[in-house]
Amino acid sequence: MVNQFEALKKTDIDVYTALMSEMERQSYGIELIPSENYVSAAVLEAIGSIFTNKYSEGYPGKRYYGGNQFTDVIETLARERAKKLFKCEHANVQPLSGSPMNQAVYLAFCKPGDTILGMDLSHGGHLTHGHPVSHMGKIFNFVRYKTHPEENGRIDFDELMKVAKETKPKIVLCGYTSYPRDYDYTYFKEIADAVGAITMADIAHIGGLVAAGVMRNPFDYGFDIVTTTTHKTLRGPRGGMILCKKEFAEVIDKSVFPGLQGGPHMNTIAGIAVALNEALQPEFKEYATQVLKNSKVLAKTLMDSGMKLVTNGTDNHMMVADIVTSFGYDGKEAEKTLDKIAITANKQVIPDDANPPLRPSGIRIGTPAATTRGMKEADMEKLGKWIVEALQAKDDEQKLASIKENVMKLCKSFKVPGIKVK
Ligand code: DSN
């Protein structure tokens, strides 16, 4: 590695050493966790800037502290770029990450005890979509829907309409954290309209794909509120955004600040502004198109080699593999085995998983980060083949070591942005 961190090396050797090791880890192997990505050097510079020194409670032009003339520029840029990218009327770019972003929406529209319709976690929903361990699950009455095993993991919308009419939700939430298919906004909108509910889409995972226009945009289907994190397919720093119609702008802004959060992280917002500008460029559409192509090829390679994927394929950037059915052991073991060949994936529950979350039946694999490094279809075929070979070999350390060499050799030709290697 080229040394870019002289000051850190001098003042804190422990943090410096861990950082150097992490740089090496990110370079020699490949991240296939679908919620991860590599930000650009420009985004890194913005996040690592002196905007971190500033308190900016409030919104552009209406701050509670002086000296915000330049943070106003940054936040306005981020908001305007988000509006342009997602074709929406208002954008709040202050949520610190995905969970507070969703919480701010619930708290804007619901009172404690109100009903929200959201996807069950084991079927692909997020913790904040009403899982009982989440505080949100204690405050609101989440009614959680599931996918249909006989219909390749699709949602049974007739059933959902019935449930909505019975439970009268305030919010109908469409959005997932582990769902490999496209989102059926039309049905969700019909259901919400039938019961007078707000429509909310949590597109945290596919935000970049929607921004690039390669996946459907919920605003084209009349959705009221869209939430997305900024660090997944959108390839920005860790943060969240709430996008909405103008009529909800005030209630959303108040819910984020002062309702839920204090001072926004202006260095992160600077990074978000940079990432959104990158996403507005034609190259980003090429990137997003390639993410989907790579995902299709990787899924096909895995399935052709005998691996069982939940819903038998993918429409987006991720796939969920059923490891118990494919190899007879669990997702934790699979994650560990892939670590040994320098491939990072994450263990994952599958629909109605009989196994517990720390030892679930599946793993999740995705292509956003590999595509950022420049990998294409032929590389996905290689990675897919090595993944299956490794999972079959499992305890054969010699075989795993030889696959790891191949993975590392491949990764050497694809640089991680922001890391300078000698
Ligand atoms: N942890 C994120 C993911 O991996 O999908 C969601 O919050």
Q: pLDDT tens across 98-155, in order?
A: 999 999 999 999 999 999 999 888 888 898 888 889 999 899 999 998 888 767 778 8
Instruction: Evaluate whether 297 touches 380 at the Cβ level (below 8 Å).
Output: yes
pTM of the predicted protein model? 0.96
Ligand 1 contact, 98 CB (< 6 A): yes
334: closest CA among 319, 315, 321, 316? 321
Is pLDDT above 80 for 1?
no
At 3 the pLDDT is: 56
229 is catalytic: yes
Tell me if the domain spanning 291-412 has CATH number 3.30.360.10. no
202 is catalytic: yes
Is pLDDT above 90 for 72?
yes
Among residues 45, 55, 289, 296, the one annotated as catalytic is: 55
- Residue 394 tokens read as 């499992």
Instruction: Evaluate whether 208 touches 288 at the Cβ level (below 8 Å).
Output: yes
At 420 the pLDDT is: 74
In which band, very low, low, confident or very high, does the pLDDT at 421 lie, cut at 50, 70 and 90?
low
DSSP secondary structure code for residue 215 in this structure = S
57 is catalytic: yes
- Spatial neighbors of 45 by CB under 8 A, at least 6 apart, are none
395 is catalytic: no
What dotted CATH number matches 46-279?
3.40.640.10
209: closest CA among 179, 244, 185, 182? 182
- Residue-wise pLDDT for 165-196, tens only, equals 999 999 999 999 999 998 889 999 999 999 99
In which band, very low, low, confident or very high, does the pLDDT at 156 lie, cut at 50, 70 and 90?
confident
At 422 the pLDDT is: 53
Ligand 1 contact, 35 CB (< 6 A): yes
Among residues 31, 75, 120, 202, the one annotated as catalytic is: 202
At 131 the pLDDT is: 86
- Residue-wise pLDDT for 230-243, tens only, equals 999 999 999 999 99
Is pLDDT above 60 for 61?
yes
Among residues 83, 238, 245, 376, the one annotated as catalytic is: 238
- Ligand 1 atom closest to the CA of 177, numbered from 1: 5
Beta strands in 176-233 (DSSP E): 198-202, 225-229
Domain ranges of the chain: 46-279, 291-412
Ligand 1 contact, 208 CB (< 6 A): no
Average pLDDT, the chain: 95
Ligand 1 contact, 177 CB (< 6 A): yes
185 is catalytic: no
In which band, very low, low, confident or very high, does the pLDDT at 415 lie, cut at 50, 70 and 90?
very high
Ligand 1 contact, 175 CB (< 6 A): no
Supply φ then ψ for residue 58, to 5 degrees.
110, -160
Is pLDDT above 90 for 277?
yes
